[in-house]
Structure 1
Amino acid sequence: MNILRNNILSNDDSGYDETFLVLYTLPMACKYSENCKFYWLSDERFENSVNLDWPPQFQGKEKYIFIVGSVSINGILCLKHGFTRTYQVVLWNPTTGETKVIPPSPIENRRPDRDSWRFLHGFGYDHVNDDYKVIQMIDYFPDDQDDEDNMVWEDRSYDPLWEIYSLKSNSWKKFDVDMRNCYYYSELRGIGLYTDGVFHWWARSASKNIEECLMSFDFSKEVMFTTLVPLNIDGGFDVGFVERHLVSLNGSIALISNYKKESTFCISVLAKLGVRESWMNLFTVGPLPFVDFPNGVGKKNNILFYIKDEDLVCVDLKTQMIKDIGVRGFSFFTHVGKYKKSFLPIGGIIN
């Protein structure tokens, strides 16, 4: 474990060129009405931030834009705009400016109140068929269950619907998987993480005996599987005030657990997919003052981002020193990830 910890601390992620940042710059009186912005944070100390315009499809409607996954895939980012039935998914290569709008699913609308839909997305590359794919889950919550704390899971009227889009065939197909009424996904957890042909979301069971897990989809095999977390993953921390966030650390799947009451966060790494006992707790950082929310990890793997008093800051995992990056935002909608430049066209052959 010490070898893995030292390896993560001593190396940057050489597979990526820059850190990207999606930031909502929000005044206190109007937290849900301002536009979000896209930045490059290109230098080691994050003192050089460059604001990049969103693609044309989002011009004039720069609200509620999310990047699906925490890394680019062959230079491509998958953008999701909106929460419910008005959502749109666009593939975007910021290096070339090329975009590809993902067409809506042709499956007939079965649900009467479309404003109560919830969408989960994943984006990845199928190495076997040289194809980019988007997986989509449509879930439905009646209006009286929109409050997370008061959901009555047994009374849900509809089962989640899963679909897969293929860029090569430019078509959707139904994905049959028995996950009905099993897991709940928040918008934040829905951002997810892509690694080596597999997309991952953080999820929890909808039963009374709640268990959290990593849910994964393999784009080449088109199979879904889960990895439970050990029962002792939280140690003695208060799990009633914990937030989770998936990140990539030196190519490994990592989970940041932020324990708000203790102003402390822990980082666990998964050694083997599907093996519950292979989660390893690598770091415990804190207590740190005003820890609000972990937002992601940059190109330098020893840097962790979070919001303090609406200021974006970073933490050096070696020294636990805090640095203010000099930009302001709203923690829930701030998203940090890693980007690798590519001049290949979207859908181009990967050698």
Structure 2
Amino acid sequence: MKGLIKTRTELPEMLVLEILSKLSVKSLTRFRCVCKPWSSSFENPHFVTKHHHNNLKNNNLNLILKRCNGGTRDDIHYFSQLSTEKDQNFRVEHNIHLPFFENFVHGPFIHGPCNGILCLADLDAFGHNVSLWNPSTREFKILPQSTVQRPPGLLDFSIFNSLGFGHDSQTDDFKVVRFVTNYFEENLDEGLMADWNNQVELYSLKNDSWKEISFPGVDGFASTLFNNYVNGFIYCQAATIDDLILSFDMVNEKFSTSPLPEFGGTLEQYYLELLDFNGLLGAIFYPREGTNKSFDLWVMNESWTKQLSVEHVLGVERPLGFWKNSELFLESSDQVIVLFDPSIQELRNLGIHAYQETMHITAYVESLVPLNGRSEHEECIIRRPAGGESN
């Protein structure tokens, strides 16, 4: 009997790439060393887009939590990566310290995610430090300082106000837009007084630079809890005009306004957070006073409709973010994260602690999007496994 002849079957390249596009970023990082064609394919824009769309399609969400465990909200803030495995109960996998922001009060504000990228910004008082971070590839990019010309007679400072971060699908560019208030002296017969004006500036990742764009005539302030980028637009509440939303088109780089839903209250009584809810603009309202909270979610789909109403949740302070099946992360009155399931009206304590009002939870899908920055290691970013530490 003749020996068996071993044959090797090679899969078509397109099929191999299709299989690889369904893997995690961690696996793909390991497979870069298999061969040069694979390594270069992982940087191909088509593959990067395909990989991201597969994660979106399968709802492969990751969770990262910003918090502070010190005795005051001014202590050092850090990030925690949470497990999303069903049997892990959102256990803390490891903690992440970003030295770039450790000297700033309250740490960075988080904007996004957008295609798996987070925008981190120090907007405390006179801060103007902004960075982009891909927590999946562990790439970090510090944005250059703005070179936008300030008006003559400027005092020693400008205040950088609200900020938005999103994607221009037409040019495949990531952009950051922010409002700047400039203070300068005005000479009067009775002496000097302070006056101000506003500017808006826009950063392009492709150009790696800032430019000035037209001021819309009304200032805006963005949510600090939720992602306010939705389908090519950034949304924020118009300052001093309670019933308007200010939006910014990332492609045309133009502002416009639209009305808020008629939710049956006033913004003196209720907090407002604008957010991305399943690819649509959402607005969540909840009372400013008390710990017996109700949460109303309105969604814009040609017109405003009430999507979800949660009544009388005891012992909670504020919403932190939505999870799968409209479950809602909440901060409890004793500074613990709880998960509320509206279908069964049940609260589940996750045992994750932080100082009051320092928690910010972000759900994102993995992405291979490059930032032309540096690795976390090069930026001295430290990741420590949680191990036996408490949440």
Smaller-chain TM-score range?
Answer: 0.7 to 0.9
Residues 1:178 and 2:212 are matched in the alignment:
no
Q: Identify unmatched segments of 5+ residues in structure 1.
A: 1-11, 143-154, 273-277
- In structure 1, distance between residues paired with 2:75 and 2:183: 24
- CA 1:133–1:280: 2 relative to 1, 3 Å: same
8 Å CA contact 2:338, 2:347 repeated in 1: yes
- In structure 2, distance between residues paired with 1:340 and 1:186: 22
- CA 1:98–1:34: 2 relative to 1, 3 Å: closer
- The offset of 1:59, in angstroms, is 6.1
Q: Report the RMSD for the aligned CA atoms in angstroms.
A: 2.9
Give, as a single letter, the amino acid of the residue that structure 2 aligns with 1:43.
E
Cα deviation 1:21-80 (Å, max 9, x = unaligned)? 2122243xx2323423333342347432223424563467694212113xx223221111
- CA 1:163–1:301: 2 relative to 1, 3 Å: farther
Give, as a single letter, the amino acid of the residue that structure 1 aligns with 2:327.
I
The structure 2 residue matched to 1:35, chosen from 71, 77, 85, is 77
Give, as a single letter, the amino acid of the residue that structure 2 aligns with 1:64.
G
> Counterpart in 2 of 1:65?
108
Cα deviation 1:222-263 (Å, max 9, x = unaligned)? 111122113x31x2x575331112233222222111123562
Residue 344 of structure 2 aligns to a residue in which SS?
coil
> Counterpart in 2 of 1:247?
275
- CA 1:82–1:46: 2 relative to 1, 3 Å: farther
> Counterpart in 2 of 1:50?
93
- In structure 1, distance between residues paired with 2:238 and 2:230: 21
- In structure 2, distance between residues paired with 1:156 and 1:254: 38
Residues 1:21 and 2:65 are matched in the alignment:
yes
Residues 1:93 and 2:134 are matched in the alignment:
yes
- In structure 2, distance between residues paired with 1:119 and 1:238: 24
Q: Identify unmatched segments of 5+ residues in structure 2.
A: 1-55, 185-192, 374-391
Cα deviation 1:323-345 (Å, max 9, x = unaligned)? 11111124533212221112332
> Counterpart in 2 of 1:294?
319
- CA 1:279–1:187: 2 relative to 1, 3 Å: closer
Residue 305 of structure 1 aligns to a residue in which SS?
strand
> Counterpart in 1 of 2:172?
130
8 Å CA contact 2:136, 2:368 repeated in 1: yes
> Counterpart in 1 of 2:195?
157
Cα deviation 1:267-307 (Å, max 9, x = unaligned)? 111113xxxxx111122212111231112223x14211221
Residue 19 of structure 1 aligns to a residue in which SS?
strand
- CA 1:64–1:246: 2 relative to 1, 3 Å: same
- In structure 2, distance between residues paired with 1:333 and 1:162: 28
8 Å CA contact 2:168, 2:251 repeated in 1: yes
Counting aligned pairs with the same residue, the percent is: 25
8 Å CA contact 2:119, 2:132 repeated in 1: yes
- In structure 2, distance between residues paired with 1:168 and 1:186: 24
Give, as a single letter, the amino acid of the residue that structure 2 aligns with 1:80.
A
- Summarize the alignment of residues 1-351 of structure 1 with structure 2, pairs less than 5 Å apart: 14-27=58-71, 30-44=72-86, 46-55=89-98, 57-58=100-101, 63-69=106-112, 72-110=113-151, 111-114=154-157, 117-140=159-182, 157-179=195-217, 182-185=218-221, 188=224, 192-201=227-236, 203-206=237-240, 210-230=241-261, 232-233=262-263, 235=264, 239-259=267-287, 260-261=289-290, 263-272=293-302, 278-298=303-323, 300-308=324-332, 309-346=334-371
- In structure 2, distance between residues paired with 1:341 and 1:55: 20
8 Å CA contact 2:78, 2:98 repeated in 1: no
Residue 206 of structure 2 aligns to a residue in which SS?
coil
- CA 1:291–1:104: 2 relative to 1, 3 Å: same
Give, as a single letter, the amino acid of the residue that structure 2 aligns with 1:294.
P
Q: Please, what TM-score do these two structures have when normalized by structure 2?
A: 0.69
8 Å CA contact 1:18, 1:340 repeated in 2: yes
Aligned length: 304
Residue 164 of structure 2 aligns to a residue in which SS?
strand
Q: Please, what TM-score do these two structures have when normalized by structure 1?
A: 0.76
Find the structure with the greater CA-based Rg.
2
- In structure 2, distance between residues paired with 1:171 and 1:102: 8
Give, as a single letter, the amino acid of the residue that structure 2 aligns with 1:334.
M
